[in-house]
Amino acid sequence: MFTKLSLRLRIFLFFCLIALGGTTLVLIALWLGHGRATSTTVTDGFVFAGVIAVLGTVGLTAGIWLLFDENVAKPIEKLAAEMRTRAHAGVGSHVDTDAARYLGDLAPAASAVTTALSDTALLTAQKVASETERLANEKARLTALLTEIPVAMILVNPRDQIVLYDGQAAEVLSQLGTPRLNASMSDYFDNNSIGVARAKLNKTGKEVSFCAQGRHHDQSFDARMKPMQGGGYMLMIDAEHVNISPEASRPLVYDFDLMEGQDLGTGADTPLRHLTYAVFDTETTGLLPHKDDIVQIGAVRVLNCRIVAGERINQLVNPGRPIPPASTKVHHVTDAMVADAPDIGTAGAMFHRFASGSVIVAHNAPFDMAFLHRDKDRMGVDWDHPILDTVLLSAVLFGASQTHTLDALCERLDVTIPPELRHTALGDAQATAEVLVRMLPMLEARGLVTFGDVLEETKRHGRLLEDLN
């Protein structure tokens, strides 16, 4: 019967209940005070009545607030989060009208609006998918063509940041570091050799041949630098004299949105969409960072709110001791699998290079970071990257009262983790990255557009991580 009343009437009845209950409590208090006044003084009686009235009113208000919070405030918070999820994260799940059954027509109206929005988005997505398929076919043909040409090609913007590299270039960059879009050329090549060639390029406006030295001067490559219209240049390295593995046939990695260049910083004023994110997960021998060890690191990169295809880490790690059978049952990493794997010193340093210039993201980050911090001396690095935790981002967007496990978050945001990849480092890192990509526009829609905005908001929910750990 109560579910058929309008929202305004329900709210009115809440306040009527407060008025009626408060009046009743005052009358009861006066009656009790009057009875007490017959045996003591009149003043004592009214003081007693006042105390009873105050305590009763406080108790009544607390009780009604609990009802209001459970049946109105929480459902509205959940409804708002679900609407933002559908509006900004492209999730097609239905609005939970049952949870908001006491909100009158609000939940059905919200469901109707988001359904209409989803239908419109679906039509647009179908047209985009058709065009995307055409572009993907063209990209495949271009990739196949470039693979046959013995030249490693890197496209660089005016700020010396990598915009594109092909499979052969990825092999060259792998010999000098970790291939990464938006990375500075100085991460791989000697500044002087690149700088001299670029100065000559700017002066003549013509292609320049030179010897590109590696950053540590332990490798050199015959290279050509060609100017590009609008600034920047194309670096072509003669791959005939470079050891190229069969993996070089993998697709092009690029993001042309980087052509104008963007700040590599991670300051508080940096917009969320201009940040580079290194999303990672670890599998371990146990759950105690002070005594257990990492057996696998998985990581992917997110740039311009998109997961960068081809830039990932899926590295087994030799913990230097047997892996407990109970742990292997969870992540399926065995002693035989890690027998020839690098130790945490080597693997951790590799991830550190992968995360250079990035914000590190993880689900329950304190747990994973505790392992990395413990072995930082063996890696020879300092873990001073800024960090975001998807547990806290979930609390900001969906409310602290919701469940914030990775599985719950994936279900809420329509992210699918293949069963065979769940509880693998790369599988969980990929799922966390997909969750992050869906949450970034939702955060912006909430007015949290800079890194500092998000950090300030997540501080309110730090207790969640303390409880989780």
**At the fourth CATH level, which superfamily is domain 149-256?**
PAS domain (3.30.450.20)
Q: Is the pLDDT of residue 445 over 60?
A: yes
Average pLDDT over residues 364-375: 96
The segment(s) of the chain belonging to CATH 3.30.450.20 are 149-256
Residue 339 is predicted with a pLDDT of 96
Catalytic residue among 332, 373, 423, 461: 423
- Would you call 420 helix, strand, or coil by DSSP? helix
In degrees, rounded to 5, the angle at the alpha carbon of residue 137 between the alpha carbons of residues 134 and 139 is 110
Q: Is the pLDDT of residue 45 over 70?
A: no
Locate tokens 């914000």: which residue? 359
Instruction: Report which of 61, 53, 75, 52 is spatially closest to residue 14, judged by C-alpha positions.
Output: 61
Do the beta carbons of residue 280 and residue 427 sit within 8 Å? Answer: no
Average pLDDT over residues 312-334: 95
Residue 341: DSSP 8-state: S
pLDDT band at 436 (very low <50, low <70, confident <90, very high): very high
Average pLDDT over residues 294-302: 97
Residue 253 is predicted with a pLDDT of 87
pLDDT band at 66 (very low <50, low <70, confident <90, very high): confident
The DSSP element (H or E) to which 207 belongs, if any, is none
Q: Which two tokens stand for residue 260?
A: 């104008």
| pLDDT above 70 coverage of the chain, percent | 76
Instruction: Report which of 104, 102, 122 is spatially closest to residue 114, judged by C-alpha positions.
Output: 122
Instruction: Report which of 25, 24, 23, 44 is spatially closest to residue 33, judged by C-alpha positions.
Output: 44
Which phi and psi (to 5°) does residue 10 adopt? -65, -45
* Sequence-ordered list of residues with C-beta below 8 angstroms from that of 34, at least 6 positions apart, any chain: 45, 49
Residues 302 and 281: their CA atoms lie apart, in Å, by: 14
Residue 368 is predicted with a pLDDT of 96
Residue 156 is predicted with a pLDDT of 93
Residue 329 is predicted with a pLDDT of 94
Residues 93 and 118: their CA atoms lie apart, in Å, by: 10
Residue 149 is predicted with a pLDDT of 62
Residue 437 is predicted with a pLDDT of 95
Instruction: Report which of 65, 74, 72 is spatially closest to residue 18, judged by C-alpha positions.
Output: 65
Residue 95: DSSP 8-state: P
Instruction: Report which of 391, 388, 390 is spatially closest to residue 359, judged by C-alpha positions.
Output: 388
Locate tokens 């040409």: which residue? 149
pLDDT in tens, 394-422: 999 988 888 899 999 999 898 988 888 88
The segment(s) of the chain belonging to CATH 3.30.420.10 are 266-468
Average pLDDT over residues 221-243: 84
Displacement of CA 305 from its chain's centroid (Å):
9
Q: Which stretch of 75-79, 196-200, 355-359 has the lowest confidence by average pLDDT?
A: 75-79
**Catalytic site includes residue 423:** yes
Residue 392 is predicted with a pLDDT of 94
Q: Is the pLDDT of residue 391 over 70?
A: yes
Sort 229 into a burial class: Cβ within 10 Å, 0-12 / 13-18 / 19+: exposed
- The third-level CATH classification (topology) of the domain covering 266-468 is Nucleotidyltransferase; domain 5 (3.30.420)
Element counts in the chain: helices (H) and strands (E):
16, 11
Residue 229 is predicted with a pLDDT of 83
